[in-house]
């Protein structure tokens, strides 16, 4: 899911010697800075954008509007991650969009920054409370960066969806490990810490009751193989270890 964030970190415009606008630059992402409340408080962990830069084709847009593009990565947009966050530099090109954005930043009409992105990994704490916190540890893809009109304006609709998905995801309990054995075509399921002992008890009872008498020539008739009565062979070794205690 694509998400959008705004931060109160204004862009700046460098001036050329002739007074014309130079580069537009600023931090689209600031690390370790708490967000506004959007149902939860969020921060971006240092390094979260490192790999995203390699897999993204990033545009510089005003207010996330594709029709207001003024730079593109590999054309006139450079992005660099440092300890403070993700900085961008858009060098001048002869377009009306660039000139207008530069003028609006310079006079203070655009006072914030924003970026559009997806999440690859995050961490949550306090999901059971009214004030959960989210840490973005790795950004999946960055779509756009650039100045915006309303800094630090929380996208509460998206925020509430993100929070609901996180609560659903982390409330899913890991299924309790089970062992299922089949005795006389009847299945028996065992759970909990004693599941191996209980399964071994059942199988040992089966061995004792079904053990054939030995013929006169002392040729042993093999007992039923555990592999034939254990439905999950991955636990066979552990059950065999338990059986060793019965055979001593």
Q: Per residue in 54-108, pLDDT tens?
A: 999 999 999 999 999 999 999 999 999 999 999 999 999 999 999 999 999 999 9
d(CA 173, CA 47): 30
pTM over 0.85: no
Let me know if 179 is exposed, middle or buried by CB neighbors in 10 A (0-12, 13-18, 19+). buried
Which residues neighbour 109 within 8 Å (Cβ) at sequence distance 6 or greater?
Answer: 149
Closest CA to 41 of 94, 81, 5: 5
Q: Which comes out higher in pLDDT, residue 153 or 22?
A: 22
Of the given ranges (31-40, 63-72, 138-147, 202-211), which has the lowest mean pLDDT?
Answer: 202-211
Q: Which residues of 77-94 are buried (b: 16+ CB within 10 A; e: fewer)?
A: bebebeeebbbbbbebee
pLDDT confidence of residue 231 = 45
What residue has token string 């993204």?
A: 56
* The pLDDT value given to residue 152: 66
Residues of the chain above pLDDT 70, percent? 75
* pLDDT above 80 for 183: no
């Amino acid at each position: 899911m694509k998400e959008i964030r705004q931060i109160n970190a204004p862009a700046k415009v460098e001036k050329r010697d002739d007074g014309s606008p130079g580069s537009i630059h600023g931090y689209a992402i600031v690390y370790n800075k708490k967000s506004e409340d959007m149902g939860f408080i969020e921060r971006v962990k240092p390094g979260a954008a490192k790999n995203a830069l390699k897999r993204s084709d990033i545009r510089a847009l005003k207010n996330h509007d594709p029709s207001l593009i003024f730079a593109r990565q590999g054309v006139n947009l450079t992005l660099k991650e440092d300890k403070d966050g993700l900085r961008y530099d858009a060098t001048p090109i002869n377009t009306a969009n660039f000139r207008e954005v530069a003028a609006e930043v310079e006079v203070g009409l655009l006072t914030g920054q924003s970026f559009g992105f997806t999440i690859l990994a995050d961490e949550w704490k306090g999901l059971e409370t009214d004030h959960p916190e989210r840490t973005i540890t790795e950004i999946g893809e960055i779509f756009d960066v650039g100045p915006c009109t309303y800094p630090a304006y929380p996208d509460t609709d998206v925020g509430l969806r993100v929070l609901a998905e996180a609560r659903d995801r982390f409330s899913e309990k890991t299924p309790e490990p089970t062992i299922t054995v089949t005795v006389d075509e009847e299945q028996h399921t065992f759970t909990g810490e004693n599941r191996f002992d209980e399964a071994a008890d059942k199988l040992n009872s089966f061995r004792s009751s079904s053990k054939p008498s030995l013929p006169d020539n002392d040729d042993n008739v093999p007992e039923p193989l555990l592999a034939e009565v254990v439905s999950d062979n991955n636990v066979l070794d552990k059950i065999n270890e338990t059986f060793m205690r019965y055979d001593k």
